[in-house]
Structure 1
Amino acid sequence: MTPLGRTAAHSAMRGIGVLALFFQLFLTLVWFFTGDDEPAARAGRPPLPTTVEITYIVTGAAGTGDVRYTTQGGTLGRDDAPLPFKATARIERGTSITLYAQNPGESKGRQITCTILADGAVVKQSSDSGDSATATCESTVGEDPPLPGLKAPDTTPRAQPGLAEGESRLTKVVKVKDYPGKGSPVVGRVTDDDARISYAEFGGDWGKSRAVDPHISGNDQEQRFDTEPKWQAAIVSGVVDSDLMDHYTGRDRHRALATAVMDEAQKYDYDSGAGRDVASQPITVGGRKGWVVVREIRFVKPGIRAKVDLGATVIVDTGRVRPAFITIEIPDTHKRLWPDINALIGSVRTTS
C-alpha cells in the first residue's frame, strides 16, 4: 500500500474508534437516566428481571395477629393469623407494597414485627409492643436496598400454633398428680345452686365462702385469702360463660371447654405470664362427664413475691345447657396448700 493509502486507512480506523467510543458513552447515559436495560444487554450485561420475589413475614410473641398485605392482585390477609405468618408473591418492579400487622387486644405488652424480603434479602422491618399494637412495613419493589446486618426472621411453625411464647397445652390425657402435704382442713361444703354442684369448703388460711353477683364477677361463689398484700389465692364457681360455649362442640368438647375456661381465667387474672398445662384428664361426677385441667402460670409483677400460680379448672356437664365450672388458684408462696387442689377435685358433686 502506498503511503497515501496507509494514511487514509489510518484515518478511517481512528474515525471508527471515535464513533465506537461515543456509542458506548451514549449507551451509558441512556442506562443512567432511564434505567433501560436493553442497551445494557446489548452491551453484554444481562437485563434485570421485571419481577421480584417478595416475602411477607409477621412474627410475634402473642401467638396470633391480624395481618394485611398488598400485592398486584389487591389486599390479602386474615384475622387472628397464627404466628409466625409467611406469604410469598412475585411483584413487578416499581410497585408500592405494604405489610400491616396488629397485636391482639390482650397481648400483655408482647412485641409484634413485620418484615419484607426482596429476593431473600430484608429490605423493610418494623416492630411495636402492647395491646393492639401495630407494625407497618412499606416498600417500593426493586428500589429498596437490603438492610445491613438483618437476617430473615425464623418462620418455623410452632409446635402449637396460636399460643404465645412460653405457653403449652396438653393434647393427651395426663393425670393430676398428688401434691404432697396436708393442705387445708375441710370445714364444710359449698353449694352452688345455679351451677348445680357442691364441693369442699376449706378452713385454715381460707376465708369463708360467699355468694357473689354473677353479672358483676362472672361467678356464683367465691372463697379467697390474701397470700401477700397485693395477691390472693381463690376458689370460684359458677355456670360457664355463654361466650365460651363455641368451644363445647365435638367429641373432645369437655377438654376444650375446660381449657377455654382456664384460658379465660389466665387472661383476666394475669397482666403477663405464660401458662403450661401439667395435667388434663376426664372425670365423672354423679354419672355426669367432666374434665380437669391443671396449669402452672409463670408471671412477674412488681411488688409481688409469687412467681408461679398453680391453677386448676373443673367443668361438669350437669345436664343444663351450659356446664358448671370450678377454678382454684394458689401461688407458689403457699405451695404447702397445693394439696387443696386434689381435695377440691375429689370433692365435687352434682346437686338436683
Structure 2
Amino acid sequence: MLDGLGGTQGTRETGPAPTYVTAEAATSEMPKIVAESPPKLPDSPVKRSRIGDLPMRVIYRILAVGVAVIVAAVATVVGFVSSGSSDQPGEGKTGQIAAPSAAPPSPGSVSAEPSTSVSEQASTQASAASASPSDTTPATPSASSSPSGSPSPSETAAPASVSDGFEPAPDRSAVIAALTDPRVPDLPRDKRLARLSGKAAKGKRRVQDEKSGVSLVRLGKPWKVFGASPFATKQVLPKAKGAGHRAMVVSCPVPILVQRESKDTALLAARWTLNHHPKGGKITWTASQPIKNGWLLAYRVKYKLKGKTRFSMAAVAVTEISGAKPAMLFATIPDTQRKYWRAINTAVSSLRVK
C-alpha cells in the first residue's frame, strides 16, 4: 500500500521527523514579564504654603484688622494737621459762635442785621428790633455821655416797640448827660437856618423811606442813590480827595432814646452823628428852629486831618411820626465839597410825612 509519499506499498519509510515537529520541539519557554513595582513615596509629605492652609475667615479677619489700622492712622494724621494749622498766626480756633445777648442794645452799637430770635426776646423787654432805628445804625461805638466815653443808663435803655405804642423817655437825664460831653455845647437860642453857599441841588423825584414813614427829594447829579445800610435811605456825592468822610444825605428812624421834646431828641441825634465824622470832631451850632412836627439843628463839625484843621457842614431834622419813633434826616458835607452845601437846605425843606 502506497503511503502517498513515493514509498512502497505496505512499507513506511523511516526518516527524519517533519520539520514542523522539530521546530515545535525546539521552541523554548517564553520568559515571564514581571511589572516593576512603583517608586516608594518619601515618608515626609511635601511642604505646602502656610497661607494656603489658613481658612478664608482667618484671612478676612486679618485684612479687616489691617484696614482698620490704616484708617485710624490716617485719621490721627489729619487730626494732628488740623489742630496744628489752627494755631498758626492770624488764624483763630474754631468753635460755636455765641448767640448775641438779648439785652437792650446801646444806641449806635447794634449790628445792622440783628437775628430774629434776639428781636423777639428784646420785644418782651420793651425793645422792638424790627421797628427800632438802632437796626439801621452802624456797628461803631455810640457817642459818649462823658469824656470817659461811657453812655448814660438812660441812653442805653430801649424804647417801647411800635406795636405796643411808642412812649418817649420819662425824663431828661439823657440830655443832661449829653451836655456834659465836651464835644457838644449847650443848645443855642432859636435861630433859622440860613441859605448855605453853593449851587442849589435840584431834584424832581422823591425817595421813599418805608421804615421811617417819610419821603424826601432825590437830589440831582452829581448826587446818586447809594447802598442805604445801615440807614433806610442814602444819597451820596463822589468821594473827594482830602475829605475825612463822604458827603451824604440819609434818613432812618432816630437811632437814640427819644425824648418828650423834639428839640431834645434832635440834640441827642446830632451828638450821635459824630460817629459819622472823623475822630475828635466837635460841634458848633449854626441853627436851631422848629419844623413841621419836629425840630431842626444845623451845625459845623470841626476836626483835624493829618494835622490840619478841617470841618463839615451838617444838619439833623427830627419829625414826629404817629404811633412810631420819629424819623431822622441827617446831612453832612465836608469843606472840600462846600459848593454842594446848599443841598442841605434842599433836603431839609423837602422832608414830608407819608
Q: Which has the higher contact order (CA 8 A, sep 6+)?
A: 2
Pair member with larger Rg? 2
Q: TM-score, normalised by structure 1?
A: 0.47
Please state which structure has a larger fraction of its residues in strand.
1
Q: TM-score, normalised by structure 2?
A: 0.47
